[in-house]
Amino acid sequence: MDTITKAKLTIAGLSTSIGLQTIKNNLSPEITEIKFSTISNKCAELGITTSQLDVSYYSTDWDTYKIIADTIYSIVKNFKWTADKFDCDDRSAFQTSLCALLFGLNTCAGMYCKITNVNTGNSDMHWANCIIDKNGELYLFDADNSGVTQKITSKTFTAGVWKYEIQNLRIY
């Protein structure tokens, strides 16, 4: 790698770091610790299976989380879908990581689901995110569905042209 390419990569890395720090500094949510039992009880009510990977969970109110989701979507939407390299599972993990890294919130769970196009009937398995607010309420957050956020009130629901059937929430 030549010196100019190394310099460009260094500048890009610094610019990214400064941008992420700016986002972090301009939105400091009030963080509330919530119990896993609060999350699992809500999920059980809706018939949703959960995988617990942490001991402590941190969240914020939905109005603040909505701003965070919009901010994260503005980053994620610029990374184009590439089969087997940067697709739905990678974006879901990326969104979860950005919530934790930038805002100290580990309640943007990976959500594995079956999706069906309501117009064509075509279906596939898909990873999106489920935001869990400080009250234990669940919200869809799907970068592949234009960054849509919507309250989840059942295991199966429709958002836009997609019907979602949640298989599992991976809360990490």
pLDDT tens per residue, range 18-39: 888 888 888 889 999 999 999 9
Write down the pTM of the prediction: 0.89
Topology of the domain comprising 30-171: Beta Polymerase; domain 2 (3.30.460)
Q: Is 162 exposed, middle or buried (0-12, 13-18, 19+ CB in 10 A)?
A: buried
pLDDT at 26: 85
Domain ranges within the chain, ordered by starting residue: 30-171
- Burial (CB < 10 A; 0-12, 13-18, 19+), residue 83, is exposed
Take residue 31 and report the two structure tokens written for it: 């963080």
CA distances from 123 to 32, 54, 84, 119, 165 (A): 37, 31, 18, 11, 11
Question: For residue 41, which amino acid is it?
Answer: N
pLDDT tens, position by position, 105-138? 999 999 999 999 999 999 999 999 999 999 999 9
